Structure 1
Amino acid sequence: MIARTHDLAAISALVIVSLSMPIQEITLSTAIVAIVANLIGGVAPDIDQPTAPFWRNLPVGGYFGRIIAKMLGGHRFLTHSLLGAAILSYLVYLLLGFLRPIMGSVNIDIVWWAFVIGLMSHLVLDTFNKEGVPWLLPIPIKFGFPPLKAFRISTDSWVESWLVFPAIILIDILVVFANYQHILFLIHNKIM
């Protein structure tokens, strides 16, 4: 899947999880930082690809991207597994703990969970890709759905652009429509 599909899926997953969990009061700064963390989590597994947007947007990103990709075993290897997700999540947890003193009223726990939700949405979405995902690494088996590769989605194909992306938008519209009053309540009463 391409970055915009992963971004949309990450935000969609965050909205669905947020609506299904009891929400505590949060600051506006926490909400904003959590959304940014969610979007970063949504594309974080692709740091193993030197041509990923993350590397393209850095001045010497191509150079570092090639080094990191080799260290991580190439695209759709370590960072696309449960082991890789645990490692990335832990590293982000440590980073957020380090940044806690300068984050003010930002609830680091909510930000971390938003990152993890985005990260896991990436892995779930890539499971529908032709290449599959090595969920159980170090066991070198890539899992995909549906089981037959011929029925899976190719990255940046017309199926992704014209079926998957609009389907995620449609799901978002249905979720927001079905929970409109609850969403308004959360915005008015839970974000300070």
Structure 2
Amino acid sequence: MEGKTHIVGGIAAGALYLKSGGSIDQEVLFFTSCIAGALLPDICSPTSTIGRMIPLLDRLVSKTFGHRTITHSLFILLIAFMIFKMTPWPEAIEWGIWIGMVSHLVLDAFTVKGIQFLWPLKIRVGIPGGIKTGGTVEKGFLSLLTLFIVYAGYQIYLK
């Protein structure tokens, strides 16, 4: 998926969390963290949105592990969760980053290449056929996520 789809997907996942009864005190910080978390797994790709922001780290991770391996796995989600439990970061940041990362992995699992969710096992997890990154189906999916955000925002804040 493209960066813009991951950004919108992170916001949508955060909205789903709030709509499902989750509560966060600092919502601006929460949604900003959802966006950061949604971009973070692509640190393994020099051409990604976050990869262009942190050019040395992206190349190091890419050369060491490859694309959609460790940064797209259950392992990295568990590491992030443990880091959050050992540090005094605000709950809005912890939950936002973690929810954004999960949204990224779910979205990339829908792509043609899928993800190595069980890294270091080389098993790819995805759906048969998959969505072509940047293709028409992804653009339609981006539109649906955007509509969900509008709907959830109305339900959470205006109803």
C-alpha distance in structure 2 between counterparts of 1:66 and 1:5, whole Å: 23
Alignment pair present for 1:16 and 2:9: no
1:33-52 to 2 correspondences below 5 Å? 33-52=29-48
The answer as to 2:130 corresponding to 1:138 is no
Aligned pair partner of 1:68 in 61, 74, 79: 61
Please give the alpha-carbon distance, in whole angstroms, between the structure 2 residues aligned to 1:2 and 1:40.
14
Aligned to 1:170: 147
% identical aligned pairs = 28
RMSD between superposed Cα atoms in Å? 2.1
Structure number with greater Rg is 1
Q: Tell me which stretches of 4 or more aligned residues in structure 1 moved more than 6 Å.
A: none
Cα distance in 2 for partners of 1:92, 1:157 equals 35
How many angstroms does 1:164 deviate by? 1.1
TM-score, normalised to structure 1's length?
A: 0.74
Q: How many angstroms apart in 2 are the aligned matches of 1:124 and 1:22?
A: 20
- Offset of residue 34 of structure 1: 1.7
For residue 126 of structure 1, what is the aligned residue in structure 2? 108
Q: Deviation string for 1:81-139 (max 9, x for gaps)?
A: 11122223434555x53xx5xxxxxxx12320111111100001111100011122222
| Distance change in 2, residues 1:112/1:22 (3 Å) | closer
How many residues get paired? 159
Matched, 1:183 2:157: yes
Match of 2:73 in 1: 81
**Unmatched segments (≥5 aa) in structure 1:** 101-107, 186-192
TM-score (norm 2): 0.88
Relative distance call for 1:47 and 1:90 in structure 2 (3 A) is: farther
Quote the Cα distance in structure 2 between the aligned partners of 1:109 and 1:115: 10
Task: Describe how 1:148-163 pairs up with structure 2 within 5 A.
Answer: 148-149=128-129, 152-161=130-139, 163=140
Unaligned runs of 5+ in 2: none
